[in-house]
């Protein structure tokens, strides 16, 4: 399985500008056709201090790694942490992400 590459700054702008948004309890998912087979993780200062932001990004990365085999590779994804992510375990984020990806798959 090919690993997902990280989005650079220019690609972040492209994905944010034409992405479809899906809102979950802990994560906001942006899906775009603008760039293919890339992923980005964002945790703003609204989430908390540096320790909480880094934990949020680790949770999102791990959850994405577990669902990557079910994700179409011709799209790019940005996962943005919500403040509520600081109090949950990785499995909660995983379930939230799976639910959003199933919504995205249904809208095709």
What's the pLDDT at 105? 72
Whether 15 maps to a domain, the answer reads yes
In a domain? residue 14: yes
DSSP H or E run through 56:
helix 50-67
Record the pTM.
0.89
pLDDT at 96: 95
Confidence at residue 2, expressed as pLDDT on a 0 to 100 scale: 57
| Whole-number CA gyration radius for the chain | 13
| Positions of the chain with pLDDT lower than 50, given as ranges | 1
The reported pLDDT for the residue numbered 7 is 87
Tell me what pLDDT residue 93 has: 96
Look up the domain containing 75 and give its range: 5-103
Which pLDDT belongs to residue 28?
Answer: 96
Residue 64 lies in a domain: yes
Cα within 13 Å of Cα(12), Cβ side: 9
Tell me, what's the pLDDT at 1?
47
Looking at residue 72, its pLDDT comes to: 86
pLDDT digits (tens, 9 = 90+) for 25-52: 999 999 998 888 899 999 999 999 999 9
Residue 40 in domain: yes
Q: Is residue 108 part of a domain?
A: no
The reply to whether 19 falls in a domain is yes
The answer to the question of residue 47 being in a domain is yes
The count of domains in the chain is 1
If you search the block for the tokens 């700054």, which residue do you land on? 9
Asked if residue 63 belongs to a domain, the reply is yes
**CATH number of the structural domain spanning residue 79:** 3.30.230.10
């Amino acid at each position: 399985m090919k690993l997902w590459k990280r989005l650079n700054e220019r690609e972040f702008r492209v994905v944010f500008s034409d992405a479809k948004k899906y809102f979950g309890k802990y994560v906001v998912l942006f899906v775009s056709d603008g760039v293919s087979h890339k992923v980005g993780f964002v945790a703003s200062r609204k989430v908390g201090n540096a320790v909480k932001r880094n934990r949020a990004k680790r949770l999102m990365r791990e959850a994405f790694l577990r669902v990557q085999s079910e994700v179409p590779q011709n799209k790019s994804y940005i996962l943005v942490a919500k403040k509520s992510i600081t109090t949950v375990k990785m499995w909660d984020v995983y379930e939230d992400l799976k639910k959003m990806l199933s919504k995205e798959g249904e809208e095709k």
